[in-house]
Amino acid sequence: MKPLAVTDHTLASALGVGRAATLAALRDGRSGLARKTFETAALDTWIGEVEGVDAQALPPALADFDCRNNRLAWLGLQADGFAASVARARARFGPRRIGVFLGTSTSGILQTELAYRRRDPATGALPADFRYAQTHNTYSVVDFTRRVLDLEGPSCAVSTACSSSAKVFGHAARLIELGVIDAAVVGGVDSLCLTTLYGFNSLELLSDDICRPWDAQRHGLSLGEAAAFALLERDADTPQAWLRGVGESSDGFHMSSPHPQGAGAAEAMQAALAQAGVAPGEIDYLNLHGTATPNNDSAEDLAVCTVFGDRLPCSSTKGATGHTLGAAGGVEAAIAMLALQHGLMPGGLNRRTPDAALRSRYLDANVEARLRLVASNSFGFGGSNACLVFGAAA
């Protein structure tokens, strides 16, 4: 593919709001996870909650969109001057030539959970002020973002579980290549809710310990929430990074378990490398999907070693942010670009005992080096896989 310019990107996660806060936390080896409760969920677990979400006030004209998910999106869109960068692109290309493609899994389902508590006792009807389309529907965050940024190009929500906000990079790249649009806002937003907390707990995937990717005693994930956005343009003189390749695949194996040999994950990585036109040995760092569930880490390790061998430095940053589900691909793309921009390969957190069965070169501490090419993996339920390759701006 012709490299696409990433002219701006930003994120809000449990590590803080904006690139500087995220980079500082990564440099300090600081996790945003805390043992705490969320809403009425009575679970003993660690959570990556974004501070200040409930205090966000949406503009009066967007009051119908008020929910935790859109307040989180609003928080992210105000960071790092991202909205101003989009305004510049809008002036350059026109609002109809910029698409909006965002990944989410549960979107604003918390708003429906709250509405159910206020059902009419006689009829069971939801309260009249509940607005499903603007707050719960997976497209609501896309519609909200289009209105905030005053964009009128093609738009859609991608909901393929935890690969959602990585796959939107591919969707945007294809439409730009076809000439349908000149630029796109991509990323993902997913906020905490009771459905995900209780759901992952029922699947026995939620850990009562802080998540420990690549640890011999790992036994599950810690849930988080986040918003992440990137602005892709057909070309630019001073980009922050280049999107070089996008690889996507489907395991076609199981509804919730990855292919045990990581076959689909390896295909996604190989496809991303082929699209970027680079050899495996040219990648300097890989941000793993790394959920800290036993099967996922084992399958990903096999896939990484199949494609890259066992010498590529890699790490999972979910010990810092938690698993942000539909936003994870966007968050980790942003972290991969921060790694490129600042020459920082972030060490994975919380690992106490390396799993001897995993052979990839997992980093437990930060490593500073000049990076030219990095990759980021995102895998979702149903075997939905995506890998992104980013190149340095200069």
- The domains located in the chain, with CATH, are 4-392 (3.40.47.10)
pLDDT classification of 157: cutoffs 50, 70, 90: very high
pLDDT for residue 256 is more than 90: no
Q: Which residues contact 391 (CB under 8 A, 6 or more apart)?
A: 3, 241, 242, 244, 276, 340, 372, 373
**Distances in whole angstroms, Cα of residue 99 to Cα of each of 24, 71, 163, 169, 176:** 31, 21, 19, 11, 9
pTM: 0.97
Residue 232 pLDDT: 98
What does DSSP assign to residue 49?
P
CA gap 211, 223 in Å, rounded? 9
pLDDT for residue 182 is more than 90: yes
pLDDT classification of 105: cutoffs 50, 70, 90: very high
Query: How large a percentage of the chain has pLDDT more than 70?
Result: 100
Told to judge if 9 belongs to the known catalytic residues of this protein, a careful annotator would answer: no
Residue 253 pLDDT: 85
Q: Which residues contact 359 (CB under 8 A, 6 or more apart)?
A: 301, 305, 310
Q: What helix, strand, coil percent values describe the chain, rounded to 5?
A: 40, 25, 40
pLDDT for residue 42 is more than 90: no
Which of the residues 9, 67, 136, 162 is marked catalytic?
A: 162
Residue 58 pLDDT: 98
Tens-place pLDDT, residues 371-393: 999 999 999 988 999 999 999 99
CA gap 36, 134 in Å, rounded? 29
CA gap 182, 336 in Å, rounded? 24
Residue 36 pLDDT: 92
CA gap 340, 286 in Å, rounded? 11
360: left (phi over 0), alpha (psi -120 to 50) or beta: beta
Told to judge if 156 belongs to the known catalytic residues of this protein, a careful annotator would answer: no
Residue 394 pLDDT: 78
Which of the residues 9, 136, 171, 323 is marked catalytic?
A: 323
pLDDT for residue 171 is more than 90: yes
Which of the residues 259, 289, 305, 387 is marked catalytic?
A: 289
Residue 382 pLDDT: 87
| φ/ψ (deg, to 5) at 311 | -115, -5
How large is the average pLDDT for residues 102-125?
A: 96
How large is the average pLDDT for residues 188-210?
A: 96
Told to judge if 162 belongs to the known catalytic residues of this protein, a careful annotator would answer: yes
Tens-place pLDDT, residues 266-324: 999 999 999 999 999 999 999 999 999 999 999 999 999 999 999 999 999 999 999 99
pLDDT classification of 117: cutoffs 50, 70, 90: very high
